[in-house]
Amino acid sequence: MPNIYRQLFATFFKIGCFTFGGGWAMISIIEKEIVDRHAWIEREEFLDLLAVAQSLPGILAVNISVAVGDKLRGNRGAIAAALGTILPSFLIILCIAIFLTPDLIKNNPTLSAIFKGVRPAVVALIIAPVITSARSAKIGWKTVWIPVAVALLIWSKLPVVSNPILYIVLGGLGGWWWYTRHLTPTKEEKGGERP
């Protein structure tokens, strides 16, 4: 296996070993590895990739690993990265299924304490990427009300407005509207360009 495939597998294997808390808890680890350490993608591209990975069905970390692997080395890179992400979880769950039962975890004070100790760390792992993503997305005092309002509406558990899919669709439509109004060149600008 060439070096880049080994790097992809090893990096995502390391990420996969710390899946406590699910996808959100892994975002800061993924960002540190693929953006800061290896510089495989830029930070803004990571935010776009994160938005796409969250809106697609499947596991967030696997979606990101497949996209990064595909970008670097096509299908083989995607397979190496995805295997690296999936394998640790599979092995951990297999060990838990073989050796640990829910009764054993509840009745064993050491295991119970370990799982209780992991909980606050998971909360911190979830909060960290929210802050870094907000900074990278250039959310300031004028726009901070948007994610706060959406979070409160989702948390409200009200029938229609608490559905996250609604905000994914509205966010996509809002981005398209903003892009067509502010970022596409006007007819005058297009006319001024020469081939």
- pLDDT over threshold 70, residue 21: no
Q: What is the pLDDT of residue 116?
A: 80
pLDDT digits 0-9 by tens, 129-181: 777 777 767 787 888 888 889 889 988 888 888 888 888 888 889 888 888 88
Q: What is the pLDDT of residue 84?
A: 92
Q: What is the pLDDT of residue 99?
A: 77
On the CB side of 9, CA atoms within 13 Å amount to 11
The proportion of the chain whose per-residue pLDDT surpasses 90, expressed as a percent, equals 14
Average pLDDT over residues 125-130: 73
Start-to-end C-alpha separation, the chain: 46
CA geometry: angle 132, 169, 57, nearest 5 deg:
75
- Residue pair 67/81 in contact by the 8 Å Cβ criterion: no
Radius of gyration of the chain (CA): 21
Q: What is the pLDDT of residue 95?
A: 83
Q: Is 173 exposed, middle or buried (0-12, 13-18, 19+ CB in 10 A)?
A: exposed
- pLDDT over threshold 80, residue 37: yes
- pLDDT over threshold 70, residue 191: no
For 132, other C-beta atoms within 10 Å of its C-beta total 18
Q: Locate 164 and state its tokens.
A: 């996250």
Q: Which of residues 112 and 187 earns the better pLDDT score?
A: 112
Q: What is the pLDDT of residue 188?
A: 55
- Residue pair 25/19 in contact by the 8 Å Cβ criterion: yes
Q: What is the pLDDT of residue 81?
A: 92
Q: What is the pLDDT of residue 23?
A: 65
d(CA 62, CA 23) in angstroms, rounded, equals 9
pLDDT band of residue 12 (cuts 50, 70, 90) is very high
Residue corresponding to tokens 């990265």: 81
